[in-house]
A and B are shown apart, each in its own frame.
Chain A
Amino acid sequence: MLKKDLLELCLLHLMVQGDQYGYELLRRLHDVFPDVQESAIYAILRQLCREGATERYQGETSGGPARKYYRLTRAGQERYAALLEAWRETRDAVSALGIE
């Protein structure tokens, strides 16, 4: 599993828990993977949107600038399931070698 796939999985995982504010998605992932620049995470997020795995919409605001939220689509849920499966296989394979 490539690191890009792992980041994609993490993004989708956060969105499975509910709609997410774009900026917060970037910050949360950047905090977990500080060596990955926010622009790289943003590029993955846009790619997910382009592929139809996620969609974005303007959230309601009280006074401030409109916030953009991201939500998972049906295709995104399928993608998430596939990536999760791939992640589990990778994790099991690595564990089988005795790497914890």
Chain B
Amino acid sequence: MRGDYFAKLSRAARWYLPPREAAEVLEDYRDLIEQEPRSEEELRRDVGTPKDAVGQLVQIRTYQKWLMVFAALAVCVLFPAVGPILSRLFWWNEIFLFVQLDWVYLLAGWILSFVWFQRNGRKEGALPRGIFLAMLIPLAGMVWSGYIALSAMYWTTELYEFLTKNPLLGSNLHLALLCNGFIAGLAGLFGLILARMRDRRWRAVYALGLAGAVLSMSVWALLSSMDVSFSDTGWQTPILLRYIAITVLGLVGTGGALC
């Protein structure tokens, strides 16, 4: 029971307080809790609920600053993940204007998360357990998006004919792209939360999730916007270069975050 209380306190401290302060506070509370055996109920009575106990230590301006950074980073990763879904649900065609800004999400998310966590993040010992497994999710999605993009670019006619003959497959492909971006976005958000609460190197999952969501949104736009003039020769090159740049930037960001 005391373990439960401490686990809840630990989660609250790591979310509300800057990493160094959270570590100090948790050390003090561990000392306080271990000195005298008390049930969780007694601890709630004498010490307060975990949220209240941490809430009294929060410096509002510091926490608000973190919330603003978190909101900005979450928007960067969630817009490309959720935007295409909203577009499909509500026929929101203006999204294609926002797709052109994929660089903005990617760079803003990458730079802001790098600067913030380098200054305010905590890094402890060996690489966190499970980080590579978590990175596999957006990475697999990026490989899949890349495969779809290459297929669309180099077997355009064949793919078009195939999907015309199998409309259900086309619909499923569209749905799968939406899910792919959404899952990459969720992975990115998961990495962001753990970068705050556990170890700043979880930012690697955020960087990869961000690149995965942006790439997925761009490929989805390529297949959905009907904006490409197939009669022009070499239309694929700028798009391909864009995708390569997104992938490289995502991988560089991930590598940098692991250091």
Contact = CB atoms under 8 A, between A and B. Distances in A.
Interface string B33-49: 00110000000001110
B31 A38 contact: no
Contacts of B48: 37-40
Interface in B38-89: 46-48, 52-53, 56-57
Interface residues of B, number: 14
Contacts of B36: 27
Nearest to B53: A39
A32 to B, nearest CB: 14
Contacts, number: 39
Interface in A19-57: 22-23, 26-27, 30, 37-40, 42-43, 46
A97 B27 CA distance: 47
Nearest to A24: B35
A22 to B, nearest CB: 6
The binding surface of chain A is classed by DSSP as: helix
Nearest to B34: A65
Contacts of B140: none
A91 interface: no
A42 B32 CA distance: 10
B36 to A, nearest CB: 8
B32 A43 contact: no
A12 to B, nearest CB: 19
B57 A23 contact: no
B31 A23 contact: yes
A30 B45 CA distance: 12
Contacts of A42: 28, 32, 53, 56-57
A23 B36 CA distance: 10
B47 A68 contact: no
B46 A46 contact: no
Interface of B: 25, 27-28, 31-32, 35-36, 46-48, 52-53, 56-57
10 contacts: A22-B32, A37-B47, A38-B32, A39-B48, A40-B48, A42-B32, A42-B57, A43-B56, A46-B57, A68-B31
Interface of A: 22-23, 26-27, 30, 37-40, 42-43, 46, 65, 67-68
